[in-house]
Chains A and B, each alone.
Chain A
Amino acid sequence: MEQYEPDRLSAARLAAMRRSFRNGRAALTRRSLLRAFAGGALAVGGVGALSGCGIPAAGTTRGGVPADDHSKKEKTVTFSNWTEYMDVDESGREHPTLEAFTQRTGIRVEYTEDINDNTEFFGKIKPQLAAGQDTGRDIIVLTDWLAARLIRLGWVQKLDPAHLPHAFTNLSAQFRNPDWDPGRAYSYPWQGISTVIAYNRKALDGVEVRTLSDLLDNAKLKGRVGLLTEMRDTVGMTLLDMDKDPAQFSADDYDAAVARLQKAVDKGQVRRFTGNDYTADLTKGDFAACLAWAGDVVQLKADNPDIGFLIPDSGYMTSSDVMLIPNKARHKTNAERLIDYYFEPRPAAELAAYINFVCPVDGVKDELAKIDEEAANNPLILPDQAMQAKSRAFRSLSSAEETAFEEKFAKLTGA
């Protein structure tokens, strides 16, 4: 044991010890802090290290990289999905459709709700996918524009049609041929999402709203209008309002739509651009009217009779969340079987009855009517001919366009 023997300590250590005794604690002083700052700055100055860390090109693995498929040996599949995007039983813990799948096939589903935001999730899986590593997930559900990006980057696997008989037969026509994945080689939709105009009747206070122009121009709604941070939904609805087709517009059309929105923002008409949190603003009445996702509105309406929605004559935007199998996923065949399972009418109906988004599966109506008559007749869940005719999709963008458009849109939202 070392004893405290002052005479055996060097002068510097003695000084340090005395310093630390002052104030009864290791005193953090102004000088020591400044010194520490300067030291940090010096460390950063090791500039030579900087050029060593570029980011390698991503597009070298086009077409997807199949990993060894462990489906036969490991009867399991890992499914990453958004929160509240799956049917839940009374106890709130089990997912009946997934249980049924496991019972029939013996494949255990590890279901995680770890996707909250497309852009954030992309940031999360990007390093692994760019480095050609397994993300630990067999199925991920992403919104179509991000799915298009992953396909473009070659980060997802081509699906084997032999494992997807139901999906091939039952996929509704409006989802069959997106320009970013013709014939569905890489992706199959989980749910469709319609963007509509929602309103709070109480907060509207008699103001009549029929088009997006009413939201952007009517001075009575000043500061009580909400738009979405999803660029494609907000700009898509604006393009429709300006009689342009979001499926084929030019860069000039885009600029015109952004300018139209900018005018409304400058007037103070728009209160906020929101993600999913618009639901709170709408129910509280802070938003009198806003762009909204129909699946949410169906649920909000059930809780609050003042909430309503309308579909402008000019049409509405439909996007979709699609299932993808990322590169190096270990259980590709199992994943494909799970994807196919959700295109059978029965599970698709159970899911649709629970989550109220647009069901991308044909021939579900009878099954859904057995569970929930009202849902089966709701055009927001099972769109009829008239609804489908008004539905428009945003065209796919090149990488350069995407960056330029997102930047212009970000300026509009203030950052």
Chain B
Amino acid sequence: MTTVAEAPPRAPAPETEPPRKRGRWTPYLLLVPGLLWLLVFFALPVIYQASTSVQTGSLEEGYEVTWHFATYWDALSEYWPQFVRSVLYAASATVLCLLLGYPLAYLIAFRAGRWRNLIMILVIAPFFTSFLIRTLAWKTILADGGPVVGALDTLHVLDVTAWLGWTVGDRVLATPLAVVCGLTYNFLPFMILPLYTSLERIDPRLHEAANDLYARPSTTFRKVTFPLSMPGVVSGTLLTFIPATGDYVNADLLGSTDTRMVGNVIQSQFLRILDYPTAAALSFILMAAILFMVMFYIRRSGTEDLV
């Protein structure tokens, strides 16, 4: 039996190499998996897609790169209504998400106390089921003979929305309103979570200070809380707007023929019509449009940090 004390003192390991030499490459080595991932799953597909968009041919004869840029123009002139509609729907859903999400995030961050975790779970829990199932559930909720539509009809809300062109007749499903509501619901947590993170970081002493300086609650919100939560607002709107623009599930399941978005066009071009160049060109135009809008938005939003 040996005791710890009897163990011979270990000689310090001889340092044959100065540690800096190896250390210099460590960050890059750590980056390799990420960079490879980016290369294989982002850069290469984008290049492949760019190539596809300027090819011509057919399934039988194969496709060749002919630098046929007219595909872009044709796609845009043919499908601009769907582009405009996508941006419009996504923007509406984003605004709705912000209006619904901000008070809730505020509540969780400042007022919820010991209910905070519970409310957080309630926000996230629905997202344990699949996107598709959640969207299909809305078909049951908004069914023509259902209680929701019945109540809206009795309260004459549907008359107003029909007058605005958001709904058709006395139904909600298969109308623009249903699609926007579906988008709003599906992307709401992507708005709430960043908002909560940035609100929660605000030092409560700033509120006290504002109070001490005789700021009314509304002034405190306008001058202190909201500006400090801008990073959350910006990243929340981005996380909502970008995927909502390209979404096609909501438009497909909750919409009708006149609510189809650009995602639906890309899907049918790629899978049904087998016009791969047009599908690739449409995807590129969508990417470019989103990139342009997002850059403009980030520039104008006047915030340095994103969350």
Where the two chains meet, the residues of A that have a C-beta atom closer than 8 Å to any C-beta of B are 1-2, 8, 23, 27-31, 33-34, 37, 41, 43-44, 46-47, 49-59, 119-120, 122-123, 152-153, 222-224, 231, 265, 268, 270-273, 277, 280-281, 284-286, 399-400, 402-403, 406-407, 410, 412-415
Contacts and interface: CB of A to CB of B under 8 A. Distances in A.
24 contacts: A2-B19, A30-B298, A33-B298, A44-B46, A44-B47, A49-B51, A51-B65, A52-B51, A56-B62, A57-B62, A223-B169, A271-B256, A273-B257, A286-B139, A399-B60, A400-B58, A403-B274, A410-B272, A413-B268, A414-B257, A414-B259, A414-B264, A415-B264, A415-B268
Contacts of A123: 270-271
B206 interface: no
A46 B46 CA distance: 11
Interface in B123-167: 136, 139-140, 143-145
A53 B51 contact: yes
A254 B67 CA distance: 33
Given A46-B47, A51-B51, A272 B257 contact: yes
Nearest to A281: B139
A37 B291 contact: yes
Interface in B244-268: 253, 255-260, 264-265, 267-268
A116 to B, nearest CB: 11
A237 to B, nearest CB: 18
Given A34-B299, A414-B257, 6 more contacts: A31-B304, A52-B51, A57-B62, A272-B174, A285-B144, A406-B272
For this complex, into which size category does the number of interface residues on chain B fall?
35 or more
Given A285-B145, A413-B257, A414-B259, A280 B139 contact: yes
Interface of B: 19-20, 23, 43, 46-48, 50-52, 54-55, 57-65, 67, 79, 82, 136, 139-140, 143-145, 168-169, 171, 173-174, 253, 255-260, 264-265, 267-276, 291, 295, 298-299, 301, 303-307
A287 B128 CA distance: 30
A57 B63 CA distance: 7
A285 B146 CA distance: 10
Most B Cβ at <10 Å: residue of A30, A34, A222, A273: A30
Nearest to B42: A40
B256 to A, nearest CB: 6
A59 B61 contact: yes
Contacts of A272: 174, 255-257
A59 B57 CA distance: 13
Given A50-B51, A53-B48, A407 B273 contact: yes
A46 B43 CA distance: 10
Given A55-B57, A153-B59, A270 B257 contact: yes
A152 B60 CA distance: 9
Given A2-B23, A407-B273, A29 B60 contact: no
A10 to B, nearest CB: 10
Given A2-B23, A37-B295, A271-B256, A53 B47 contact: yes
A402 B174 CA distance: 28
A369 B275 CA distance: 48
Contacts of B62: 54-58
B304 A29 contact: yes
Given A37-B295, A54-B65, A119 B304 contact: no
Given A410-B268, A410-B272, A414-B256, A54 B63 contact: yes
Given A123-B271, A265-B257, A407-B273, A50 B47 contact: yes
A28 B23 contact: no
Contacts of B267: 415
Contact of A50 (B65, B173, B274, B276): B65
Contacts of B59: 58, 153, 399
B260 A415 contact: yes
B275 A403 contact: yes
Nearest to A8: B20
Contacts of B20: 2, 8
A278 to B, nearest CB: 12
A400 B275 CA distance: 11
B295 to A, nearest CB: 6
B145 A284 contact: yes
A55 B144 CA distance: 47
Contacts of B65: 50-51, 53-54
**Residue of A50, A52, A59, A273 with most chain B CB atoms under a 10 A cut-off:** A50
Contacts of A280: 136, 139
Contacts of B258: 414
A142 B83 CA distance: 33
A186 B63 CA distance: 27
Contacts of B136: 277, 280
Contacts of B61: 57, 59
A6 to B, nearest CB: 14
A57 B60 contact: yes
Contacts of B271: 119-120, 122-123
Nearest to A121: B271
Contacts of B255: 272
A41 B43 CA distance: 10
Contacts of B298: 30, 33-34
Contacts of A43: 43
A265 B257 CA distance: 8
Given A33-B298, A223-B174, A414-B258, A50 B50 contact: yes
Contacts of B168: 223, 268
Contact of B60 (A49, A53, A59, A265): A59
